[in-house]
């Protein structure tokens, strides 16, 4: 009996240890199972978000394609023989043609609330289109804006030849588009200084001429420094050091890298300059007061007010000569006509040939929203037929041969490639 009792007491601790081991194992297995479930949930969420991003991207891409189609239609209409045969030519109805690209369009697909207000036939057509596109949740919207009313920084490239080693004289004889653009930018910056209540505090020791020369240094090939000294002297001292680009701007934001440019000045210039304008001429019908004053610094606020009133009254300037006559005669600014005395070298125009298409795809769900934005720079060719499709091409290979054009498969159109667009595309 005593031996039986001792044997029984000896077994009790072993049974307790086994139970404890099982409990710990079950706890570890539960933790591992929870970890696996958590990882699976995270991966599922990531995949779900990635799918949403992809869907929003293609929604945005569809909006960009519609925008490209509108620009192409505008280019064709502008150069159409039927419109040219009208009294006054296409310029006489230019404000109406501009509605092809600048008329705001509602998002697609239409919201349920707007569908309810449609007529039954329109609502049935909308439902049919939605069924074909298989879009259940999401919306595509796009906006087209003109870049023609801005100063093109890439026109500051000085062409090869005798001019490349000479500074621009902002008040002297203009030798080409680069001189006109340099003068416009010089006057624009100078006007910013004049209109500032405290230019020293707001802009520091900024000199308009030096800033323009620095930008010309940035975009012009070669080592000649229009700003004086070594072309890369300032950039070599930065942390990290870099070089002047010696090539065209790809984006306006690149302007931040140029010597003399700070954040405050950049924000002032951002909406007044571009890198996408095809012809480089200022569109008088889309330029704001700051850019117009850069064209002619002697414009007063009253002059600018009257210019905008006359433009609205006439539904836009029909021709460059109409604008010049109004300024020199009606406003009494005879010196304007003396400054711009050759219609062949006018740095301004009344049409738009360069656009930015900004398209947004939005995927809205009950608990989340995903958005993607695509920006496309596109220009209408000013050569050949003058439309966005300068020649007829049957396929992508024929269109893109040589790299001067880009193929749009959705509408089988061949567009002239914008100057700043790479061969890989222009989406951002």
Do 123 and 198 lie in one domain? The reply is: no
Q: What is the DSSP string of 94-150?
A: HHHHTHHHHS----BSPPHHHHHTS-HHHHHHHHHHHHHHT--S-EEEEEEEE-TTS
| Structural domains in the chain (count) | 2
Residues in Cβ contact with 107 at an 8 Å cutoff, skipping those fewer than 6 apart: 139, 140, 141
- The reported pLDDT for the residue numbered 8 is 52
Query: Which of 331, 349, 367 is the C-terminal boundary of a domain?
Result: 349
Residue 279 domain-assigned (yes or no): yes
Average pLDDT over all residues of the chain? 80
134 and 204 belong to one structural domain: no
Whether 296 and 172 share a structural domain: yes
Give residue for tokens 């302007």: 255
pLDDT band at 421 (very low <50, low <70, confident <90, very high): very low
Same structural domain for residues 200 and 285? yes
> Tokens in use for 195?
């209109």
What is the predicted pLDDT for the residue at 258? 94
Identify the pLDDT of residue 360.
Answer: 92
Q: What is the mean pLDDT of residues 123-145?
A: 76
377 shares a domain with 328: no
In terms of domains, do 297 and 393 share one? no
Query: For a pLDDT cut of 90, what percent of the chain falls above it?
Result: 29
Q: CA Rg, the chain, in Å?
A: 32
Same domain, 94 and 132: yes
Query: Distance between the two ends of the chain, CA-based, in angstroms?
Result: 90
> What is residue 11's predicted lDDT score, i.e. its pLDDT?
52
Last residue of a domain, one of 349, 364, 397: 349
Same domain for 305 and 192?
yes
Domain that holds residue 170: 151-349
The HSE-up count of residue 403 (CA atoms within 13 Å, CB side) is 7
Give one DSSP letter per residue of 234-290, joined into a string: HHHTSSS------S--SSGGGGGGSTT--HHHHHHHGGGEES--SS--EETTT--HH
Q: Using a cut of 0.75, tell me whether the model's pTM lies above it.
A: no
Q: What CATH number is attached to the domain comprising 155?
A: 1.10.40.60
176-229: pLDDT as tens digits: 888 889 999 999 999 999 988 888 888 888 999 999 999 999 999 988 888 888
Whether residue 231 is contained in a domain is answered as: yes
Tell me if 6 is assigned to some domain. no
Taking alpha carbons only, the member of 126, 92, 84 closest to residue 109 is 126
Two tokens, residue 299: 């414009």
């Amino acid at each position: 009996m005593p031996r039986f009792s001792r044997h029984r007491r000896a077994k009790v601790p072993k049974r307790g240890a086994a139970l404890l081991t099982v409990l710990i194992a079950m706890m570890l297995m539960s933790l591992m199972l929870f970890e696996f479930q958590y990882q699976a949930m995270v991966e599922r969420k990531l995949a779900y978000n990635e799918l949403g991003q992809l869907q929003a991207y293609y929604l945005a891409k569809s909006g960009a394609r519609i925008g490209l189609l509108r620009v192409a239609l505008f280019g064709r209409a502008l150069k159409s023989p039927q419109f040219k045969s009208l009294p006054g030519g296409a310029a006489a109805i230019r404000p109406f043609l501009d509605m092809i690209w600048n008329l705001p369009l509602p998002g697609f697909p239409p919201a349920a609330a707007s569908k309810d207000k449609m007529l039954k036939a329109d609502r049935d057509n909308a439902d049919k289109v939605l069924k074909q596109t298989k879009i259940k949740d999401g919306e595509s919207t796009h906006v087209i804006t003109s870049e023609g009313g801005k100063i093109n920084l890439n026109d500051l490239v000085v062409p090869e030849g005798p001019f490349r080693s000479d500074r621009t004289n902002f008040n002297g004889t203009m030798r080409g588009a680069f001189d006109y653009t340099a003068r416009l930018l010089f006057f624009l910056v100078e006007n910013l200084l004049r209109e500032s209540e405290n230019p020293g505090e707001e802009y520091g020791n900024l000199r308009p001429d030096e800033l323009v020369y620095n930008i010309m240094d940035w975009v012009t090939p070669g080592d000649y420094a229009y700003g004086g000294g070594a072309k890369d002297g300032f950039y070599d001292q930065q942390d990290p050091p870099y070089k002047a680009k010696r090539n065209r701007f790809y984006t306006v934001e690149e302007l931040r890298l140029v010597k003399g440019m700070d954040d405050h000045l950049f924000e002032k210039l951002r909406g007044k300059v571009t890198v996408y304008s095809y012809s480089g001429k200022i569109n008088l019908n889309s330029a704001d007061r700051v850019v117009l004053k850069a064209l002619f610094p002697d414009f007063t606020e009253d002059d600018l007010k009257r210019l905008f009133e006359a433009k609205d009254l006439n539904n836009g300037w029909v021709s460059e000569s109409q604008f010049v006559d109004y300024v020199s005669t009606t406003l009494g600014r005879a010196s304007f006509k003396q400054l711009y005395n050759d219609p062949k070298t006018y740095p301004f125009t009344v049409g738009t040939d360069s656009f930015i298409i900004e398209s947004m795809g939005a995927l809205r769900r009950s608990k989340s929203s995903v958005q993607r934005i695509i920006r496309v720079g596109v220009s209408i060719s000013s050569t050949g037929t003058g439309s966005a499709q300068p020649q007829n091409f049957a396929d992508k290979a024929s269109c893109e041969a040589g790299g001067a054009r880009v193929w749009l498969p959705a509408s089988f159109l061949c567009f002239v490639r914008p100057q700043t667009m790479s061969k890989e595309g222009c989406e951002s």
